[in-house]
C-alpha cells in the first residue's frame, strides 16, 4: 500500500503543483487538497479527476481563488454549486453562473442578486427558465436587459417588449437577435434612432 502523504511531503512545491495538475489519482488529489501551498490546492480544484469529497472540501477553502476554481470545475456537483452560490466573493458566484451544472432553479436564485454583474451574467445563460427571462427583461439595469436582448434563446414575446425599451442600445440588440421576427424588425425599421433602424434593415436583408 502506497502512503501518499510520505511520498508527497518530500517533493518541492512546483513538483506537487505539477502532480496536482496532471494526476488522475483521486487519492493523491485528496492528499494534495490539504497542501500548505494555495497554488497546489488551486490545481487540485481545477482537476477534473478530483472526487466530489475533495471538491466539497476545497469549496470551503479560506482562499477565494480556490473556491473560484471549484466553481468553474465541470465535475462540481449541484450541491457544491449551491453552497458556492452563497459565497461572499462575487467572482465565485459568477463562476457558479457559468458552470454547466448550474440548474435553472439555482440560476433563478442568482438572478435576484443585488450585484449587476451577476444578474447580467445570468441573463446571458442558455439555461434559465421562462420566469427568469421575464424578470430580467424588466430589470432596472440596462446592462441586464441588454443581455436578455442579446440572448439567442430569448423568445419573440420578450423581444417584442424589449423592442420598445427606452435605451436605444437594447432596441439595437433586439434588431440583431436571431429570434426577432419580421414583424419586430419592421417595427424597429421605423425607430427614431438611426443605429437601430439601420441594424433592423440589415437584419431584414440577411434573414428574409
> For all residues of the chain together, what is the average pLDDT?
95
Phi/psi for 89 (5° steps) reads -100, 125
Do 99 and 72 contact (CB within 8 A), yes or no?
yes
Residue 34 vs residue 11, higher pLDDT? 34
Instruction: Write the pLDDT tens digit of every residue in 46-78.
Output: 999 999 999 999 999 999 999 999 999 999 999
Q: Is 121 exposed, middle or buried (0-12, 13-18, 19+ CB in 10 A)?
A: buried
Q: Which residues of 94-111 are buried (b: 16+ CB within 10 A; e: fewer)?
A: bbbbebeebeeebbbbbb
**pTM for this predicted structure:** 0.91
Q: Is a pLDDT exceeding 50 seen at residue 164?
A: yes
- As a whole number of angstroms, the distance between CA 43 and CA 22 comes to 9
In the chain, how long is the greatest CA-to-CA distance? 76
Q: Is a pLDDT exceeding 50 seen at residue 1?
A: no
**Domains of the chain from N-terminus onward:** 1-102 (1.25.10.10), 103-208 (1.25.10.10)
Q: What confidence score (pLDDT) does residue 172 get?
A: 98
Q: How confident is the model at residue 80 (pLDDT cuts 50, 70, 90)?
A: very high
Amino acid at each position: 500500500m502506497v502512503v501518499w502523504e510520505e511520498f508527497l511531503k518530500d517533493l518541492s512545491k512546483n513538483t506537487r503543483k505539477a502532480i496536482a495538475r496532471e494526476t488522475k489519482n483521486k487519492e493523491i488529489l485528496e492528499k494534495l487538497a490539504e497542501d500548505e501551498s494555495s497554488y497546489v490546492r488551486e490545481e487540485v480544484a481545477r482537476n477534473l479527476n478530483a472526487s466530489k469529497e475533495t471538491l466539497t472540501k476545497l469549496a470551503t477553502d479560506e482562499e477565494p481563488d480556490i473556491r473560484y476554481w471549484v466553481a468553474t470545475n465541470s465535475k462540481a456537483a449541484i450541491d457544491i454549486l449551491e453552497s458556492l452560490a452563497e459565497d461572499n466573493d462575487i467572482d465565485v458566484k459568477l463562476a457558479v453562473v457559468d458552470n454547466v451544472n448550474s440548474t435553472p432553479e439555482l440560476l433563478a436564485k442568482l438572478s435576484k442578486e443585488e450585484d449587476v454583474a451577476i444578474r447580467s451574467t445570468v441573463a446571458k445563460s442558455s439555461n434559465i427558465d421562462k420566469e427568469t427571462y421575464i424578470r430580467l427583461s424588466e430589470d432596472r439595469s440596462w446592462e441586464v436587459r441588454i443581455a436578455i436582448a442579446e440572448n439567442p434563446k430569448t423568445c419573440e414575446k420578450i423581444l417584442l417588449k424589449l423592442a420598445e425599451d427606452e435605451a436605444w442600445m437594447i432596441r439595437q440588440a433586439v434588431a440583431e437577435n436571431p429570434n426577432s421576427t419580421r414583424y419586430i424588425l419592421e417595427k424597429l425599421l421605423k425607430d427614431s434612432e438611426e443605429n437601430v433602424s439601420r441594424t433592423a434593415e440589415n437584419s431584414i436583408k440577411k434573414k428574409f
